[in-house]
Amino acid sequence: MKTEALLTPHMLASLKCKKKEMTIYDAGCPGLALRLRPSGARSWVRWERTGDTTRRVTLGSLDTMSLQTARAAMQARSSPVEAKLASPTSMTFGALSKLFCEAKTGVYTPRTLTCLRSYLDTQLLPAFGARPLHKITTPDFADWFYRYSKSRSGGANAALIHFTTILTWGKEVGHVPYDLPNPAGPIRKNKRAPRGRMLNVKDLRALTDTLKHPPARTHDAADAIRLMLLTGCRSGEILRLRWDAVSRDRLDLTTTKTGPRTVMLSHVAIAALKDRRRKVTSEFVFPSPQNISTPRSSVHAAWQSIKHAAGLPKTLRLHDLRHTYASHAILSGESLYMTGKLLGHRDPQSTERYAHLSGAALEAASETVSSRIEKLLAGAS
């Protein structure tokens, strides 16, 4: 695995050689790397390619060549391939972003595209839109990222992901050289406290009773909310659901945040959908009240009424139903891997964010562990 870092004088002073040889690529100067050998030798290196042969070239020792000098030497010895990467005619980030949005129209949902364009128009394009991709350096990106993080840490994380996604796509389809370094690669996302909460048994009972007898003019929305709770699906996945995606015991979703996936249905969810089918004549399970040939776009207003009727906290989000589904799956003994499969996650870390255990569950776990330790201690004494 390639190790890349934004090298600084302070970092270089702390680097030590290990039992195995290690090479660290400098994110601040594409092509430059520091080679650390078990013997204690630390040298600046680069690679030259001639025909089908690649050879390593040593620029100098770290003891006698500073970081600034090594970067200057790297630029002076640039190969024809690297010179091409640094060509003034390199595509700008703005041009690549436009191509990306055009390619994803019809692939991404309208809501996802709107969100992406918002980050582009307000943050990424003003900062990098007019700049050729090869001239966007990691120090430039880091300076912008940390300034943005002071006002919106989550927004900065999302913008960083969008930048990397667009650049990666550009490499895959051939708009930019595949070996063009990603200036955002060495940047680490801001750590965020988990959002959301898990509904306890009392909350779930209150919500279930309210969904069975919802406030006036919220019956269709209540059916949708109940199905979200029973399946752990995102609100958009349920509201866009078509009958042709509903099988006897599963949902075959073609448009989700992480791509097509299958959602297995419990017997309660199957019964809820059968009841729903008797009420609806549209191709959509939850058609718009204004036009049954289009899906319902939101249940936000109904959710506020249902929350109030159930006596639930005002801050409770609709997405917390997904948190609740995941957390209760884990409390029931399901692994993070299996819970992630149920939710349609590709990254296990995404599932970990949903594993919010209630205080009562943690207290019970603590009591069990303490009792076990006391028994062991008693047996040892």
- Other C-beta atoms closer than 10 Å to the C-beta of 222 total 22
Q: What integer pLDDT is reported at residue 338 of this predicted model?
A: 61
Q: What integer pLDDT is reported at residue 356 of this predicted model?
A: 52
pLDDT by residue (tens digit) across 260-298?
Answer: 778 888 888 899 999 999 988 899 999 999 999 999 989
Q: What percent of the chain has pLDDT over 90?
A: 32
Q: What percent of the chain has pLDDT over 70?
A: 79
pLDDT by residue (tens digit) across 88-106?
Answer: 346 899 999 999 999 888 8
Q: Which of the listed CATH numbers 2.40.50.100, 3.30.160.390, 3.40.190.10, 3.40.50.620 matches domain 3-85?
A: 3.30.160.390
Average pLDDT over every residue of 66-87 = 64
pLDDT by residue (tens digit) across 38-55?
Answer: 888 889 888 877 767 778
Q: What integer pLDDT is reported at residue 380 of this predicted model?
A: 52
What string of H, E and C letters represents the secondary structure of 259-270?
Answer: CCEEEECCHHHH
pLDDT by residue (tens digit) across 321-338?
Answer: 887 777 766 566 666 556
User: What's the pTM value of the predicted model, to 2 decimals?
Assistant: 0.50
Q: What integer pLDDT is reported at residue 82 of this predicted model?
A: 45
Ordered by start, the domain boundaries in the chain are 3-85, 93-173, 201-361
d(CA 32, CA 181): 11
d(CA 269, CA 325): 13
pLDDT by residue (tens digit) across 358-373?
Answer: 455 545 554 555 565 5
Q: What integer pLDDT is reported at residue 93 of this predicted model?
A: 94
d(CA 22, CA 33): 10
pLDDT at 174 over 80: no
Which segment of 138-147, 322-331, 335-344 scores lowest on mean pLDDT? Answer: 335-344
Q: Comparing C-alpha atoms, which of 161, 189, 160, 194 is closest to residue 319?
A: 194
Q: What integer pLDDT is reported at residue 89 of this predicted model?
A: 42
Q: How far is CA 159 from CA 107, 144, 208, 353, in A?
A: 20, 11, 38, 20
Q: Where are the beta strands (DSSP E) in the chain?
A: 3-5, 22-26, 33-36, 42-50, 53-61, 250-253, 261-264
Structural domain 201-361, CATH architecture: Orthogonal Bundle (1.10)
381 — pLDDT class (breaks 50, 70, 90): very low
Domains 3-85 and 201-361 share a fold: no
Q: What integer pLDDT is reported at residue 321 of this predicted model?
A: 83
pLDDT at 374 over 70: no
Q: What integer pLDDT is reported at residue 345 of this predicted model?
A: 55
pLDDT by residue (tens digit) across 297-311?
Answer: 899 999 999 999 999
What DSSP designation does 319 have? Answer: T
